[in-house]
Amino acid sequence: MQLNKLNTVELMELDQLKTYLINKPETIETFPFGDDVSVYKVKNKMFALLAWRDDQLMLNLKCDPDESIMLREIFPTIKPGYHMNKKHWISIYFEDPIPKGEIERLIDNSFMLVVNKMAKKDQSSILLHL
């Protein structure tokens, strides 16, 4: 990631975000689009993408379509998913603050949306660690 674009306080927040993502059960971080785009997968299924876009940190997450509409009305920095299915993904830009608890809730929801679509045998090993 282009860490030189962050000040010390933001860097701590970025580290917390990355730690929260990678600590989800059976999650791996991959870089299929280059070193500056982190893709987080559970059982080889993507639930988050962290990257820079127009000099802003951006987090893409799966989201329930109805909730996505509501979130965009509440938070102006939540947009339809950049380069993703706009109905099922959102992009969060960190130019304006969104409460840490809300970001964690959205990550949890994205993770569970992906897990819930998996075969039961794959779900069970993940759910044991929640």
Tell me the per-residue pLDDT of 12-51, one tens digit each, with 9 for 90 and over: 478 899 999 999 999 999 999 999 999 999 999 999 999 9
Residue 9 in tokens: 């306080």
In tens, the pLDDT along 58-117 reads: 999 999 999 999 999 999 999 999 888 899 999 999 887 788 889 999 999 999 999 999
Residue 47 DSSP SS3: strand
DSSP string, 7-18: -HHHHHHHHHHH
Nearest to 29 by CA among 58, 50, 15: 50
Distance CA 90, CA 98 (A): 14
Residue 83 DSSP SS3: coil
